[in-house]
Amino acid sequence: MVMVQRISASQFKARCLGLMDAVASSGEPLVITKNGVPVAELHPCRGARRASPFGLHPGTQLLGDVIAPLDEPWSALA
Protein backbone atom coordinates (compact mmCIF):
# COMPACT_ATOMS: atom_id res chain seq x y z
CA MET A 1 0.00 0.00 0.00
CA VAL A 2 1.36 3.41 -1.04
CA MET A 3 1.23 6.13 1.61
CA VAL A 4 0.12 9.46 0.14
CA GLN A 5 1.77 12.52 1.67
CA ARG A 6 -0.60 14.76 3.65
CA ILE A 7 -0.25 18.42 4.57
CA SER A 8 -2.46 20.81 6.48
CA ALA A 9 -4.15 23.62 4.57
CA SER A 10 -2.19 26.26 6.51
CA GLN A 11 1.15 24.60 5.64
CA PHE A 12 0.04 24.20 2.03
CA LYS A 13 -0.85 27.89 1.86
CA ALA A 14 2.58 28.90 3.14
CA ARG A 15 4.51 26.56 0.81
CA CYS A 16 2.15 26.31 -2.18
CA LEU A 17 4.51 27.06 -5.08
CA GLY A 18 7.27 24.78 -3.82
CA LEU A 19 4.79 21.97 -3.19
CA MET A 20 3.39 22.35 -6.71
CA ASP A 21 6.90 22.00 -8.15
CA ALA A 22 7.56 18.94 -5.98
CA VAL A 23 4.34 17.23 -7.09
CA ALA A 24 5.07 18.01 -10.74
CA SER A 25 8.60 16.58 -10.55
CA SER A 26 7.85 13.54 -8.39
CA GLY A 27 4.50 12.63 -9.94
CA GLU A 28 3.20 11.77 -6.46
CA PRO A 29 -0.11 13.29 -5.29
CA LEU A 30 -0.46 15.40 -2.16
CA VAL A 31 -3.54 15.37 0.09
CA ILE A 32 -4.45 18.68 1.71
CA THR A 33 -6.26 18.44 5.04
CA LYS A 34 -8.31 20.79 7.18
CA ASN A 35 -8.53 19.85 10.85
CA GLY A 36 -7.10 16.44 9.92
CA VAL A 37 -9.83 15.73 7.36
CA PRO A 38 -8.81 15.40 3.68
CA VAL A 39 -10.42 18.18 1.63
CA ALA A 40 -8.38 18.30 -1.59
CA GLU A 41 -5.79 16.41 -3.58
CA LEU A 42 -3.02 17.97 -5.65
CA HIS A 43 -1.67 15.79 -8.42
CA PRO A 44 0.35 16.43 -11.59
CA CYS A 45 -1.56 17.11 -14.80
CA ARG A 46 -1.51 14.28 -17.30
CA GLY A 47 0.66 15.00 -20.31
CA ALA A 48 1.95 18.24 -18.78
CA ARG A 49 5.53 17.05 -18.43
CA ARG A 50 7.83 18.49 -21.02
CA ALA A 51 9.96 16.03 -22.88
CA SER A 52 13.69 16.47 -22.78
CA PRO A 53 15.10 18.03 -25.95
CA PHE A 54 17.95 15.52 -25.92
CA GLY A 55 17.43 12.72 -28.38
CA LEU A 56 14.91 14.54 -30.56
CA HIS A 57 17.13 14.20 -33.61
CA PRO A 58 18.79 10.79 -33.41
CA GLY A 59 21.59 10.23 -35.88
CA THR A 60 22.44 13.93 -36.17
CA GLN A 61 26.14 14.69 -36.00
CA LEU A 62 27.78 18.02 -35.29
CA LEU A 63 30.90 18.44 -37.37
CA GLY A 64 33.73 20.82 -36.58
CA ASP A 65 34.21 23.08 -33.58
CA VAL A 66 30.73 24.40 -32.74
CA ILE A 67 31.99 26.44 -29.78
CA ALA A 68 34.79 28.46 -31.40
CA PRO A 69 33.99 32.01 -32.56
CA LEU A 70 33.31 32.61 -36.23
CA ASP A 71 36.03 34.15 -38.42
CA GLU A 72 33.57 36.41 -40.23
CA PRO A 73 31.57 39.34 -38.87
CA TRP A 74 27.86 38.96 -38.33
CA SER A 75 25.53 40.89 -40.58
CA ALA A 76 23.72 42.11 -37.46
CA LEU A 77 26.88 43.94 -36.37
CA ALA A 78 27.21 45.88 -39.64
CATH number of the domain within which 1 lies: 3.40.1620.10
Answer whether 0.75 is exceeded by the pTM: no
Angle, CA 14 vertex, CA 8 and CA 20 arms, to 5°: 80
Q: Is the pLDDT of residue 1 over 60?
A: no
Domain assignment of residue 24, given as a range: 1-46
pLDDT one-digit tens code per residue, 59-76: 777 788 878 887 777 777
How far is it, in rounded angstroms, from Cα 29 to Cα 20? 10
Q: What average pLDDT does this structure show over 39-51?
A: 80
pLDDT of 35 higher than 80: yes
| Number of compact structural domains in the chain | 1
Q: Is 57 left (phi over 0), alpha (psi -120 to 50) or beta?
A: beta
pLDDT at 9 over 70: yes
Q: Determine, yes or no, domain membership for 73.
A: no
Question: What is the rounded average pLDDT for all residues in the chain?
Answer: 84
Question: Which residue type, as a one-letter code, is found at position 7?
Answer: I
